[in-house]
Structure 1
Amino acid sequence: MKNNYNTVLCHAWLLVLLLLSLSSLASNQVQQIRIWPSPDNTRVVFDLAAAPEYKYFTLDNPERLVIDLSHTRGGASLPAISGQSALISNIRSSGDQNSMRIVLDLSKKTNANVFVLTPTAPYGHRLVIDLPDENSRVQRQPPSSIRAARDIVIAIDAGHGGEDPGSIGPSGIYEKHLTLPIARRLAELIDKEPGMKALLVRTGDYFVHVNRRTDIARSMQADLLVSIHADAFTSPQPRGASVWVLSLRRATTEVGRMLEQTERHGELLGGVAEVIRDAANERYLAQTVLDLSMNHSMVTAHQAANQVLTELAKITRLHKAEPQAASLGVLRSPDIPSILVEVGFISNPQEEQQLRNTSHQARLAQSLFTALKRHFQQAPPADSLFAQQRSREHRVQPGESLSVLAQRYNVSVAELRTHNQLSNDSIRIGQVLRIP
């Protein structure tokens, strides 16, 4: 009798375990769908209760992306969808208690990239679909050889964005919501300055891969890449701004990587590549060009970083008084001077409140602008309007007056006074005046 009881009990437990395992097979569920459009890519994110098991394939005529989720409760109804994109005309689903099929109806052909992201606050398990829009690439500027007195181009990268919120402050604000308004204010100031032009790496709340950010800056033919971030730490005490530049080790690694990509030698060498037929000589020349470019970029970035620190120190505390070298993702380009500005610690309650303040954001943007303008006034690219203006300078000699110089250069005294921010007509021997 006892043996029969044990046998029944054992079978009962097996049945319970079987039911639990069957239940767990279909326990996953799509909780929300988010669409993040950007100028050249659309990201679709499926928030799930657990890590997904999936397969996907594409169909054409019409264009569709089909995703099959196993062990996921499905049906004809979908959870709330936030956002929209011209690439996606419709999202629909079908399924049963143990599987779900999701179909994305697409407006054009695209090479989808589907992958999984593990939980990272504030998000849980995610299935991500990146849909590049091949016809919406950033347009290159005309080559500098055919441009006269060109603008100095500054690429402004607002850190994080879209699916990547960055650090989270004590009040719950995301870093991505602080960096974009500062970047926009900086861009406005730059665009108002004759001889300077700003281009935003991202213009809205969408995700741009960290490696893609320097590629965008390169396609803009940027003279400088400025990436704006807010720092964070595990404790609330640290505070203050800092500026980071590319480390020599990272720069050397990136040079080697670029040299291995022989298809990019033409991009690195410009028109010279067209007359070089020997692969060995082409690599040697590419190495020389990149080495020179790397040296120039690192020196330029360091000089710009020092100017930025000087200005930031006037309005906020500095966490580091000198430029810091690092192997950060956005600081990866040996051919484009790049700096990363940490405007403060979002993890510090007092500094977080400051960073949220629009007036403080405006002061930060003004500090960055003042520093960048002064940097390029002191070291302008040779073919830029700033360089042309600098060439029209005059060092005051004994016996010269503002009226004499105005007559010599065929400009008015008022123009000379305004152009040099003079409060009166007094000038001193040795003073350098810019000629409008």
Structure 2
Amino acid sequence: MSEPTEIRTQSVIAKRRRTVLKAGGTLLISLLTPLTARAAQILAVRMWPAEDYTRITLENDSDLKTQHFTLKNPERLVIDIEGIDLSPTLKSLVAKVQPNDPYVSQIRVGQNKPHVVRLVFDLKEEVNPQVFTLAPIAEYQHRLVFDLYPVNPPDPIAALIREGKWSLDDPVDSGLSSPTPPLAENTPPFAEPKPGPKPNTAPQVTRMLTIALDPGHGGEDPGAIGRRGSYEKNIVLSIAKRLKAKLEREPNMRVMLTRDGDYFVPLGTRVQKARRVNADLFVSIHADAFVKPTANGSSVFALSEKGASSTAARWLANKENAADLIGGANLKNGADKQLASVLFDLSTTAQINDSLKLGKAVLQEIGGINRLHKNAVEQAGFAVLKAPDIPSILIETAFISNPEEEAKLNDNAYQDKMAEAIAQGIKRYFAKNPPLAKGRMM
């Protein structure tokens, strides 16, 4: 090959190499550009209307930034979500509005500008909106949450008044907006009758008894899920409603449910509701789950000051206490943190002793309809049992993770038997522990 020909060949090869490299670089840029500029994807939208508040949840594959403001005449909430484009999933939010939603009449969704979607909530009344994000947990990815609270929150006593079960003469807790006054040393806020040689001579007080029933989980938090797809939150709500009906057949008993529908209630709010109505008892209802499907039986738990009574009790308490993270409590809210701190610090020995008596009475009755997982009341640090002045128990009605017990829990007859057993246990407790007269809680 001559020298000019060799030079031309090398020049052609070099040009081709530059062309290939340039094309490769262009291809690499075209592949990387969508990744860096890609809008976040909305995976699911959910809506949870309730008298307490309405919650709207957007589940997505990344953390989202928002701006929001309200408008008057008519009342509206406007939310701009950055980094997303309008999608069929997001558009489906429009159809999620239910006619009986107390606070939202309709939702409008549109592309406000590139990569910014605007949501407009047409409201039925003025609300205090809380907009916050939740990090991935359990089965959920990132969540953007809008909680629409009424400016005038519903009072749990109002429902009892509407039902004709509350009079103006009843004592009322003023709430936890101000600290509870300090007690004299060694004086429990929920005192038992002083022991003596004639314990039955203590005067019995005839008055209305207020029972707070707490169906566990709800809304974003399904609780345990059975192999057949049963949700704990639905089963325990059904049992709680049956139990409410049975207790209210008694002439001196009335019941307040911490939730009466499928919506999330933070643990501290459940306790606060019970204290607001000056409850005599607090009964939290659940359906247990364990990694082994063979685990079975019913259990009753009380609070512990010194640690869990067993490893299983500690494991269960940790799982139940995670409800706020799964359900989506707005932990950035300073009031929620303050409330939790107050409740956690005021638990007393007297409250725990009364809770153990209540738990024993209920456990004996439940043992008549189902195998007991443990023959004694167990104890652990359940956050929902930390009302300082109310005997409180948590009932695990059965193992929803056990296929046989899951079938029982879905059976109307079993639910009714469980409700009847708990009711009988509560009545047995009061028969042995007559209620004291209650003054107005301050």
Q: TM over 0.5: same fold?
A: yes
1:26 maps onto 2:39 in alignment: yes
Deviation at 1:379, TM superposition (A): 0.6
| Structure 1 residue 326 displacement after superposition | 1.4
Task: Provide the rounded CA distance (Å) in 2 between the counterparts of 1:155 and 1:39.
Answer: 18
CA gap of 1:75–1:166, structure 2 versus 1, over 3 A, is closer
The residue number in structure 2 matching 1:207 is 264
Residue 195 of structure 1 and its aligned partner are, at CA, apart by: 1.6
Amino acid at match of 2:86: G
Q: Sort the Cα spacing of 1:150 and 1:39 in 2 relative to 1 into closer, same or farther, 3 A.
A: farther
- After TM superposition, the structure 1 = structure 2 runs for residues 396-411 of structure 1, keeping only pairs within 5 Å, are none
Aligned mate of 2:92, from 79, 93, 99: 79
Check conservation: 1:38, 1:207, Cα contact below 8 A.
Answer: no
Please state whether the residue corresponding to 2:147 is helix, strand or coil.
strand
> Given residue 206 of structure 2, which amino acid in structure 1 is its aligned partner?
A
Q: CA deviation at 1:112?
A: 1.3
Return the TM-score normalized by structure 1: 0.72
Structure 1 residue 8: Cα displacement: 3.2
**Aligned partners of 1:78, 1:243: CA distance in 2, in Å?**
45
- Are 1:31 and 1:79, in contact at CA under 8 Å, matched by a contact in 2? no
- Cα 1:205/1:113, change in 2 over 3 Å: same
Q: How many residues align?
A: 347
* CA displacement 1:262-286 (0-9 Å, x = unmatched): 9x99xx9xxxxxxxxxxxxxxxxxx
Whether the 8 Å contact between 1:47 and 1:126 is mirrored in structure 2 is yes
Q: For structure 1, which runs of at least 5 residues remain unmatched after alignment?
A: 251-257, 269-286, 385-436
Tell me if structure 1 keeps the 8 A contact 2:133–2:145.
Answer: yes
Q: Residue 91 of structure 2: SS of its match in structure 1?
A: coil
Match of 1:335 among 385, 389, 395: 389
Task: Decide which of 79, 86, 106 is 1:90's aligned counterpart.
Answer: 106
| Offset, 1:125 | 4.0
Q: Which residue of 1 aligns with 2:82?
A: 70
Which of 109, 113, 124 is 2:130 aligned to? 113
Number of the residue aligned with 1:315: 369
Cα gap change, 1:348/1:26 in structure 2, threshold over 3 Å: closer, same or farther? same
Instruction: Give the fraction of aligned pairs with identical amino acids, expressed as a percent.
Output: 36
Determine the structure 1 residue equivalent to 2:201.
none
The answer to whether 1:55 aligns with 2:69 is no
- 1:224 corresponds, among 281, 291, 294, to 281
- Assess, with a 3 A threshold, how the Cα gap between structure 1 residues 44 and 206 changes in structure 2: closer, same or farther: same
Answer yes or no: is the 8 Å Cα contact 2:56–2:146 preserved in 1: yes
TM-score by length of 2: 0.71
Preserved CA contact (<8 Å) 1:71 1:98: yes
Output one character per residue of 1:293-315: Cα deviation in whole Å (capped at 9) or x when no partner.
x2332111110001111111111
- Equivalent position amino acid for 1:114 in 2: V
Q: 1:306 aligns with which of 347, 360, 384?
A: 360
Alignment of 1:119-130 (within 5 A): 119=136, 124-130=141-147
Higher relative contact order (CA 8 A, sep 6+): 2
What is the aligned partner in structure 1 of residue 27 from structure 2?
Answer: 12
8 A Cα contact 2:97 2:107, kept in partner: no
Which segment is superposed worse, 80-89 or 232-241?
Answer: 80-89
Q: What is the Cα deviation at residue 180 of structure 1?
A: 0.8
**Structure 1 residues 31 and 144: alpha-carbon distance in aligned structure 2, compared to 1, 3 A threshold:** closer
Aligned mates of 2:408, 2:138 — CA distance in 1? 23
1:361 and 1:54 map into 2 onto residues whose CA distance is: 45
